[in-house]
């Protein structure tokens, strides 16, 4: 049968309809996943079209998957993070939804407190296992949408649940139908999709869900979960590891609209951001993330990374307040005691800092030479220089100007006496065997000891800058 593809405006042939293959033994793809060696990437050289949806957005799993890797948040902490997510999202709702556990009283209290705020974005949703008892929690909370865990690989169907494919399908469809009867949007989490029989189970299951969606008039969503981080975005890579192949297949063969498709990845093989961006580009409207990438094992896709990626791909922030990213990082460190690696992009304390003297010299002349973008304007994070044995005069001058907010005519130069004197003291420290960087408080005290009058003048400018900011 021929049909007009509304995305490409091409006539496409779609003759074969995939049906459930109820196999007697599990398909474990041992040629790829033998467990005794690094998982292999196979290629069949098949390429699918890049069809980016007209709308892209982010969903959040900080309070669900994210909390599985950290000390539990209090209800109050969840509320504060949720409010920051809303500010980051902006009025256009680029961060569209956030999912919550419902199992404890604390979880449910947090949901209620977030609902009471009356914020439009992100919408509060839940996550449950595919059983009637869990679904009762969703009904009790009065939520409009819930995620449902529907494991789709034979690793889970045969080995974890001790079911057949048909048995799993029947179990999943029964809870989906229960949600539809209550007018609740089911978001089906296809767990372990990158080890699943794509045409033997995933596509037939998704096809059945789309039939139910059409019958009910409720948009059933499908979250493609790269649970183990096996997904790859290489052109010509084969199913089940191909990200673009999975997204294209769900859209083309199962008829899942882009707006009902979501990608959820893990970072076990360092591919989580590129895989999420690939999912967007090849037809998936939504990518699921957590703040700072927290989550099971190596974590989820960092939400702040995809916020930046969104602006990069779209050419606009669409109303997002990216400076909130810095506030979120500070909250995690100061309020939650979460240690962010210093070199983490966008949120680590050293992400826009340099140590090398030659780099500092370039930044002293024009920070654009070595800073990735105007981090002060966009993230409220001025570029920094870390002072150590390699900083040189330029590095110290840049630190002085940055720390005391000196600019224009009052900015110091690397040839100024106070900079030269500080450099001499710094050199003595490292000549004596020091091997750690010098902190702000230490350098501030050094400058004060060298010249109290200059220090007072610099501090005045610092305090004036802080007052002006407030």
Structure confidence at residue 362 (pLDDT) = 76
Rounded-to-integer distance, Cα 107 and Cα 63, Å? 9
Residue pointed to by tokens 């800092």: 353
Q: Does residue 270 come out as left (phi exceeding 0), alpha (psi in the -120 to 50 range) or beta? A: left
| Token duo for residue 342 | 């210093």
pTM over 0.85: yes
Structure confidence at residue 466 (pLDDT) = 57
Assess whether pLDDT exceeds 70 at residue 3: yes
194-211 per-position pLDDT tens digit: 999 999 999 999 999 999
Rounded-to-integer distance, Cα 414 and Cα 395, Å? 8
> Which residues of the chain are in CATH 3.20.20.70 domains?
49-334
- CB 265, CB 36: distance < 8 Å: no
State the DSSP code for 123.
E
Candidates 89, 94, 98; CA nearest to 280 is 94
- CB 263, CB 292: distance < 8 Å: no
Helix axes 165-181, 132-141, angle to 10 degrees: 20
**Residue 385: in which H helix or E strand, if any?**
strand 384-385
320-348 per-position pLDDT tens digit: 999 999 999 999 999 999 999 999 999 99
Beta strand 2-5 with 10-13 is antiparallel
Assess whether pLDDT exceeds 60 at residue 470: no
Structure confidence at residue 10 (pLDDT) = 81
Candidates 156, 180, 184, 186; CA nearest to 168 is 156
Rounded-to-integer distance, Cα 168 and Cα 191, Å? 13
CATH class of 49-334: alpha beta
Name the pLDDT band for 155 (thresholds 50, 70, 90): very high
């Amino acid at each position: 049968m021929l049909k007009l593809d509304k995305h490409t405006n091409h006539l496409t042939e779609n003759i074969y309809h995939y049906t459930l293959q109820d196999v007697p033994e599990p398909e474990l793809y041992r040629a790829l996943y033998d467990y005794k060696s690094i998982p292999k990437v196979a290629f069949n050289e098949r390429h699918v079209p890049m069809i980016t949806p007209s709308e892209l957005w982010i969903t959040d799993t900080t309070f669900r998957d994210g909390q599985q890797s950290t000390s539990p948040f209090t209800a109050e902490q969840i509320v504060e993070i949720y409010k920051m997510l809303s500010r980051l999202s902006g009025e256009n709702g680029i961060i569209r939804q956030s999912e919550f556990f419902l199992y404890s009283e604390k979880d449910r209290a947090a949901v209620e407190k977030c609902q009471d705020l009356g914020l439009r974005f992100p919408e509060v949703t839940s996550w449950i296992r595919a059983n009637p008892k869990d679904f009762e929690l969703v009904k009790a909370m009065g939520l409009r949408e819930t995620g449902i865990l529907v494991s789709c690989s034979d690793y889970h169907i045969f080995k974890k649940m001790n079911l057949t494919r048909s048995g799993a399908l029947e179990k999943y469809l029964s809870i989906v139908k229960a949600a539809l009867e209550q007018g609740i949007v089911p978001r089906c989490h296809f767990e372990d999709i990158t080890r699943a029989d794509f045409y033997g189970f995933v596509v037939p299951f998704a096809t059945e869900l789309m039939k139910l969606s059409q019958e009910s008039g409720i948009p059933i969503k499908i979250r493609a979960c790269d649970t183990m981080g096996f997904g790859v975005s290489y052109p010509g890579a084969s199913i089940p590891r191909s990200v673009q192949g999975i997204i294209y297949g769900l859209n083309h063969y199962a008829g899942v609209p882009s707006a009902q498709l979501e990608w959820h990845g893990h970072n076990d093989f360092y591919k989580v951001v590129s895989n999420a961006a690939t999912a967007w580009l090849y037809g998936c409207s939504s990518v699921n993330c957590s703040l700072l990438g927290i989550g099971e094992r190596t974590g989820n896709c960092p939400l702040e990374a995809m916020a930046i990626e969104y602006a990069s791909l779209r050419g606009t922030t669409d109303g997002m307040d990216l400076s909130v990213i810095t506030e979120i990082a500070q909250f995690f460190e100061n309020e939650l005691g979460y240690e962010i690696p210093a070199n983490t992009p966008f949120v680590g304390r050293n992400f826009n800092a340099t140590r090398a003297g030659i780099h500092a010299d370039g930044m002293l002349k024009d920070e654009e030479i070595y800073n990735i973008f105007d981090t002060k304007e966009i993230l409220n994070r001025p570029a920094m220089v870390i002072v150590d044995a390699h900083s040189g005069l330029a590095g110290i001058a840049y630190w002085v100007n940055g720390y005391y907010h000196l600019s224009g005519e009052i900015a110091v130069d690397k040839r100024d006496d106070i900079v030269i004197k500080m450099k001499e003291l710094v050199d003595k420290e490292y000549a004596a065997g020091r091997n750690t960087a010098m902190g702000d408080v230490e350098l501030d005290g050094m400058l004060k000891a060298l010249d109290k009058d200059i220090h007072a003048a610099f501090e005045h400018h610092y305090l004036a800058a802080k007052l002006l900011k407030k």
